[in-house]
């Protein structure tokens, strides 16, 4: 049959890989959006002060962990209360409206993987859409190719957005800082009173290793 011949020639391998990547991106989306991003639980308060001092010795000793004014738990260092999720989140990065969930300590690495897979899917889809376009200056050509042209333009816009988001996150990860800390440096007590501009930075390699591994 034609399918068997195409399979023997390897013509079905690329579409199959593309479909698998799309399915992978969908599964990653649901995984990141539904998982616990690192909610702070009241029973985890004990021993928090001691653990933070060991991990971050550069933070001034006079800065004490404070209780959240909303959920009344003692916030660990780098945690923030999200009013949309109604929880304090460890190593809070941001609340993503597309995921309807916070990006924090537990799902941030998977969020980066999701963006990477999504970028590959968009680049591949953009290549397929572009390869199907044969430009002619005629009304009939536009009528027959308007769907493909609009698809390519949408894919191009989404690719730029995802690429910028991924690059910005990788930069912040390499500096061991979060979006919230980067945007609100002057309002965060443990950063405002620190002698170092970024007391968490331990070098690009170690920052990346600790984040992903």
Catalytic residues: 96
Closest by CA to 15, choosing from 113, 149, 125, is 125
Closest by CA to 196, choosing from 54, 53, 60, is 60
Integer Cα distance of 107 and 28 in angstroms: 10
The encoded tokens of residue 183 equal: 């945007």
Integer Cα distance of 159 and 121 in angstroms: 9
The encoded tokens of residue 85 equal: 């999720």
Integer Cα distance of 65 and 54 in angstroms: 14
Integer Cα distance of 48 and 86 in angstroms: 21
Nearest 5°: phi and psi at 108? -60, -45
CA 193, 195, 198 angle in degrees (round to 5)?
Answer: 90
Distances in whole angstroms, Cα of residue 149 to Cα of each of 98, 141, 143, 146: 25, 11, 10, 5
Integer Cα distance of 117 and 111 in angstroms: 10
């Amino acid at each position: 049959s034609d399918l068997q011949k195409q399979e023997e020639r390897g013509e079905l391998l690329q579409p199959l890989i593309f479909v698998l990547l799309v399915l992978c991106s969908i599964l990653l989306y649901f995984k990141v959006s539904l998982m616990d991003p690192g909610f702070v639980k009241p029973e985890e308060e004990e021993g928090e002060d001691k653990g933070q001092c060991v991990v971050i010795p550069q933070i001034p000793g006079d800065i004490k962990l404070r209780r959240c004014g909303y959920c009344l738990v003692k916030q660990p260092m780098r945690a923030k209360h999200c009013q949309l999720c109604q929880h304090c989140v460890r190593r809070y990065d941001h609340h993503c409206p597309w995921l309807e969930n916070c990006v924090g300590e537990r799902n941030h690495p998977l969020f980066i993987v999701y963006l990477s897979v999504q970028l590959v899917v968009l680049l591949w889809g953009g290549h397929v859409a572009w390869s199907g376009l044969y430009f002619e200056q005629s009304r009939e050509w536009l009528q027959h190719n308007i769907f493909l042209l609009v698809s390519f333009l949408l894919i191009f816009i989404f690719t730029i957005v995802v690429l910028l988001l991924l690059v910005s996150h990788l930069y912040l990860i390499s500096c061991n800082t979060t979006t919230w800390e980067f945007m609100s440096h002057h309002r965060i007590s443990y950063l405002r009173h620190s002698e170092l501009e970024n007391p968490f930075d331990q070098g690009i390699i170690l920052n990346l290793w600790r984040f992903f591994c």
